Structure 1
Amino acid sequence: MKPPDIQITKATGERDTYDREKLRGSLLRSGAKEHDAERVIDEVESQLRDGMSTRKIYRRAFQALRRDSVFAASRYQLKQAVMELGPSGYPFERFIGAVMESMGYQTSVGRIVSGRCVTHELDVIGRKNGEIALVECKFRNQAGSKTDVRVPLYFHARFLDVAEAWKQDQGRTWREMGLDLPGYLPGKGEEPVFKPWIITNAKFTEDAVRYSQCAGISLMGWDYPGHRTLLTVIEEAQLMPLTLLQKLSRRDKTILLEEGVTTCRELYQNEIIMEKVGIDRSRRRQTMKELEGVLGLVR
């Protein structure tokens, strides 16, 4: 059976035809050279079997790529690395705050905001020009997970409660409502444009997309929308999560996440924090070298 005829099993359990170009694209985006990508593809295809899972295919590609380039292999694990920002959702919320900042927003993470009826904890608040983005982050650490219509239904109600509180102007200031951001405190007469966002590292169901389009909710998923996905924003802004680093142990990563460090760039710019959390000198040196490769930097 030739590779183009082989049926593979996606994380959702659905069957699909193996696509050589999709595998090639993912390898090249990770920074692999053309000849390395071809070698990896040949090796993977020599082991392909009908019904093989995409997880197993990409794991074998990662192992083959790692023999040539640790740096490219690290970036190739990007989706898995984002899923490892858990198990709690807070590191993911901080990560999404960085994503929004790369898109030009001034952000604040984990804010308590007053609505007309009740108070709400919002994952991320962002401001850009006159827009106030209220962001719901949905973290998933299981491959194949989807964000269904219940999420936009629930968040839409919360969003309307916050927007209505400002619209009715019950004598509260932005600071009293919890909507103030550092360096930005508009006057009471200023009319902001509130915009609801839902950002996830998973996929959206069709109903979730349909409802959000109808309700005016902006969505960003791992591969949605086609022109500006979470993946493309991460890659364009070089926002690599620190969890993709191979030189750090799981314990090291957990401690660094607890210290509020979520991206490779943050760690590179704050090398001393590795010493603070007990990472020995040798591994700090190895990690800094890996960071330079992952970020495309030269010290």
Structure 2
Amino acid sequence: MLIIKATGEVVPYDRQKIIYSLQRAGAAEEIVGEVVEETEKHLRDRMHTKELYKIVFKKLKKLTRKAAEKYHLKKAIMELGPTGFPFEKFIAALLESEGYNTSTNEIVQGRCVAHEVDVIAEKGGKHTFFECKYHSTNGNASDIKVALYIYARYLDIKKNGSNDYDFEDAWLATNTRLTSDAEKYSRCVGLNALSWDYPKGNSLRERIDRNGLYPITCLTGLPKRQKQLLLDNHVVLCKSINEKPSILKGIGLSESEKRKILEQSETICNTSISCK
């Protein structure tokens, strides 16, 4: 049985991959078994991963909303659009949870031109330059041109010794993946890179799980329009709803809907200190 990935690559169906993703989302063993069984009833040759995801997610959502919301995480990050601004805010929040002070979208003068820096992170007096590359679809990757562009901007800023920031290092952060050339180039020049599954052990997915910082787009019970209204008001994290439930006022939700959303928000990250 062959499956077509978002990139167009054709690969064999891998049951273990589904099992692992369900376990990572916190689904119990019996639920994992039920979801896999239901999924394989609908399998057909050359099915797209998008269709496969929908089958898995639909069944999982019926059995356990908490695990479904965590399973939905990668797609939820993609729903932070349509602009890249909420993703930049999300990366800043992730860094703050790791002890950094951050600012976003600052103009910094380089030797040749001025640059808008997505995120500036500071810890222990050292500054780090972060550029974020957001993609709304899974098939898109950050390629060598992105890495070259970001590193060139970093070098231009470094060559201006009179600005307020003496950056120690630079990062490229993306919500999908890096091409092999982008990874290779980044390693070669010392540009740090962060993608959904890179670097192993400290990827974007792993850092989100470790810090318990789930975006509001994870909340499967929150309608799309209300999600966008919250994002437009710079509300990116479930944690923000937990800390200030009044955020849900004025976005067209009934009192019972607000209670349900707050309950879902608390449930999805109730095991994480950073969410409480």
Task: Establish whether TM, by shorter chain, passes 0.5.
Answer: yes
Task: Tell me the equivalent position of 1:104.
Answer: 99
Out of 6, 9, 17, the residue aligned to residue 11 of structure 1 is 6
For 2:39, the equivalent position in structure 1 comes to 44
Displacement of 1:104 in angstroms is 2.6
Q: Where does the alignment leave 5 or more consecutive residues of structure 1 unmatched? A: 1-5, 180-191
Q: CA deviation at 1:149?
A: 0.5
Query: Which of 176, 186, 190 does residue 212 from structure 1 map onto?
Result: 186
- State the Cα distance separating 1:297 from its structure 2 match: 5.7
Give structure 2 stretches of 5+ with no counterpart.
Answer: none
Q: In 1, distance between residues paired with 2:270 and 2:29? A: 17
Percent of aligned pairs with the same residue? 40
TM-score (normalizing by structure 2): 0.94
Q: Name the amino acid aligned to 1:255.
A: L
- Cα distance in 2 for partners of 1:126, 1:193 equals 9
Question: Does 2:224 match 1:229?
Answer: no
Correspondence 1:71 to 2:56:
no
Hey, what's the Cα distance between the residues in 1 that align with 2:88 and 2:104? 7
Partner AA of 2:71 in structure 1: Y
RMSD: 1.6
Confirm or deny: 8 A CA contact 1:275 1:281 kept in the other structure: no
Question: SS of 2:200's equivalent?
Answer: coil
Equivalent residues of 2:158, 2:167 under 8 A apart: no
Matched letter for residue 16 of structure 1: V
Counterparts of 1:98-137 in structure 2 under 5 Å?
Answer: 98-137=93-132
Which position in structure 2 is the counterpart of 1:182? Answer: none
Within 2, Cα distance between the matches of 1:155 and 1:67?
43
Amino acid at match of 1:90: F
Runs of 4+ in 1 over 6 A off after TM superposition: none
In the alignment, the residues of structure 2 paired with residue 85 and residue 267 of structure 1 have an alpha-carbon distance, to the nearest angstrom, of: 16
Who is 1:90 aligned against?
A: 85
Establish whether residue 198 from structure 1 lines up as the match of residue 172 from structure 2: yes
CA contact (8 A) 2:39 2:56 kept: yes
Give the TM-score, by structure 1 length.
Answer: 0.87
Q: How far apart in 2 are the matches of 1:276 and 1:56?
A: 35
Out of 18, 25, 31, which is 1:30 matched to? Answer: 25
Deviations 1:114-151 (A, max 9, x none): 11221110000001224311011000001211111111
Distance in 1 separating the partners of 2:229 and 2:41: 40
Equivalent residue pairs, number? 273
Cα distance between partner residues in 2 of 1:234 and 1:271: 22
- For 2:251 and 2:106, locate their aligned partners in 1 and report how far apart those are by CA, in whole Å: 27
